[in-house]
Amino acid sequence: MSNMHDSTSKRLTVTFRGVDIVVHGLGEDFGSTFISNSREEFHAVNGDVRYGDIDAKHAKRFRQHMVMNTEAETIDFAASTKATKAKFQTSEMATTSIDKGVKSTLETLGIAHTSDTVVGNEFIRGVSGGERKRVSIAEVMETGAPLQCWENTTRGLDASNALDFVKALRRAANEQQKSIVATLYQAGNSIYSHFDKVLLLAEGRQIYYGSTRDARKYFEDMGFLSPPGANTADFLTSVVVETERLVRSGFEDSVPRSAPEFETRYRNSAMYREMMEDIDLVSKESLSEEIRTLNSVCRLEKTRTIEALSRYSSPYHVSFLRQVGACTKRQFRIIWGDRWSNCLQIASSFCFALVTGSLFYNLSDTSDSIFMKPGALFYPILLFAMNKLSETTVSFTGRPIIARHKRLAFHQPAAHAMACVITDIPLVVALFTLFHIIFYFMVGLQHEAGKFFTNWLIYVLATLCFTSLFRMIGACCRHFGFASQISGWVIMAMMVYGGYLIPIASIHPWFRWIWYINPAAYAFNAVLASEMGTMTLTCVEPQYVPFGSTYNESAFRSCTVAGSAPALQLIDGESFLQVQYRATVSEI
Q: 173 lies in a domain?
A: yes
Report pLDDT for 584: 80
Per-residue confidence of the chain (588 residues) as pLDDT tens digits?
334 444 455 555 555 566 667 676 655 555 666 666 666 665 555 666 654 444 555 445 445 778 888 888 888 898 888 877 656 556 676 777 788 888 888 888 888 888 888 888 777 888 887 788 888 888 888 888 888 888 888 877 778 888 888 888 888 888 888 888 888 877 888 888 899 999 988 888 889 999 989 999 999 889 888 887 788 888 888 888 888 888 888 888 888 888 888 999 999 999 999 888 887 777 676 777 777 777 776 766 666 656 556 666 677 888 888 899 999 999 999 898 888 888 999 999 999 999 999 999 988 888 888 888 999 999 999 999 999 998 998 888 888 888 888 888 888 999 999 999 999 999 999 999 999 999 999 998 989 999 999 999 999 999 999 999 999 999 899 888 899 999 999 999 999 999 889 888 888 989 999 999 999 999 999 998 888 888 888 888 777 787 766 676 666 677 877 777 776 777 777 888 888 888 888 777
Q: Do residue 343 and residue 438 come from a single domain?
A: yes
- Identify each DSSP E strand in 420-516 by its residue range: none
215 and 257 inside one domain: yes
Q: Is residue 526 part of a domain?
A: no
DSSP bridge pairs for 54: 51
Phi and psi dihedrals of 455, rounded to 5?
A: -60, -40
Are residue 118 and residue 262 in the same domain, yes or no? no
- Domain boundary, last residue among 122, 143, 164: 143
User: Quick check: is 545 in a domain?
Assistant: no
Instruction: Answer yes or no: do 440 and 466 share one domain.
Output: yes
Dist CA 392 CA 112 (whole Å): 36
In this structure, the answer to whether residues 461 and 502 fall within a common structural domain is yes
Using an 8 Å Cβ cutoff, are 206 and 218 in contact? no
Structural domain boundaries, residue 71: 63-143
3-state secondary structure of 209: strand
The pairing of strands 570-572 and 536-538 is antiparallel
SS3 83: coil
What CA–CA distance (Å, rounded) separates 383 from 435? 11
Residues shown for the chain: 588
Distance between CA 496 and CA 286 in Å, rounded?
70
Same domain, 459 and 325: yes
Tell me the C-alpha distance between 124 and 171, whole Å. Answer: 35
User: What are 232-239's contacts with CB under 8 Å, separation 24+?
Assistant: 232/189, 232/192, 233/22, 233/24, 233/184, 233/186, 233/187, 233/188, 233/189, 233/192, 234/186, 236/24, 236/198, 236/200, 236/208, 237/24, 237/25, 237/26, 237/200
- Kindly state whether residues 97 and 164 are assigned to the same domain: no
Instruction: Name which of 496, 491, 450, 444 is nearest 470 in CA terms.
Output: 491
Name the pTM for this structure. Answer: 0.77
Domain boundary among 230, 259, 282: 282
Is residue 123 in a domain?
A: yes
- If asked whether residues 222 and 302 sit together in one domain, one would say no
> How many domains does the chain fold into?
4
Quick one: pLDDT at residue 61?
47
Residue 249 falls within a domain, yes or no? Answer: yes
Nearest to residue 137, comparing CAs of 115, 152, 153?
A: 153
In a domain, 583, yes or no: no
The CATH number linked to 42 is 3.40.50.300
Asked if 336 and 265 sit in the same domain, the reply is: no
Q: Which long-range contacts (CB under 8 A, 24 or more apart) does 148-151 make?
A: 148/172, 148/178, 148/179, 148/180, 148/181, 149/35, 149/38, 149/39, 149/181, 149/182, 150/180, 150/181, 150/182, 150/183, 151/31, 151/32, 151/35, 151/182, 151/183
b/e 195-227 (16+ beta carbons within 10 angstroms → b): bbbbbbbbbbbbbbbbebebbbebbeebbbbbe
